[in-house]
Amino acid sequence: MRIGLVFKRNMLICKPYHQISIRDCGEPLVALPMQEFAFFPTHAYVAAGAPYNGQSPWMLRQSVLESLRKAQKRLKTLRPGWNLMLFDAYRPQAVQAYMVEYELTLMTKQAGLTVENLSAEQRAAMMEKILRIYAEPSDDPATPPPHSTGAAVDCTLADEKGREAWMGSPIDENSDRSNPDHFATAEDTSGKRAHTNRTLLHDIMRAEGFSRDGTEWWHFSKGDQMAVWRENKTTPPVQLVAIYGRADL
């Protein structure tokens, strides 16, 4: 897929968190220690052909990694033998753009259409759904996608046998089931278990300063625009600035 073929980057849809100023602290991206966490056996975006160009997705800003380690330790105290199971971390800008285009192409094929022949209305409807899960790519340093800052991680839980814990929906599912509290009022055993595990994941991450995305139970970040925007909405309100902008290697 040729980057830029189906996505117009000059059509950025501003999100509320884009209003947050960035004063990057300059922390480096560091490699995630593979022996300390559980990982999905196949990285979905690498498998999809995303252009990492030799860069690893398994990197985070140094302090973000330290907080993730503390969350892992907290989890093991509550559930001995369990681990954080990581799906994705650092996402270069080129990868972010590729995955949005990849999803648009996939969606049009499923509808029996082609990207080139989409009407403006069809494109807008599909992009609205895609951008529910994927942040919009941006070349503007003032509006970086969360994963491109090195401050965001997509994760779930793995039990003592290394099995992915039941969360009610898989990571990256583009449906209402991805909303963090979707199963909050569930009365069936499956739904209750999903909500319990989602709550556990949120609680251990929140205790270490991470903020969860409002539409994705698996997405957590710390110190980027999205996380700071959420922190600034707390009571009493605070006025923080983001300390992580776009991270380029």
- Residue 241 structure tokens: 């600035």
Cα angle: 120, vertex 124, 127; to 5 degrees? 135
Q: How far apart are CA 76 and CA 246, in angstroms?
A: 32
**Active-site annotation holder among 103, 136, 208, 216:** 216
Q: Could you give the 3-state DSSP secondary structure of residue 87? A: strand
Active site residue 27: no
Closest CA to 242 of 29, 89, 234, 231: 231
Alpha helix (H) residue ranges in 5-150:
44-47, 62-78, 93-110, 120-133
Q: How far apart are CA 46 and CA 78, in angstroms?
A: 33
Q: Would you please indicate which residues are annotated as catalytic (active-site) residues?
A: 216
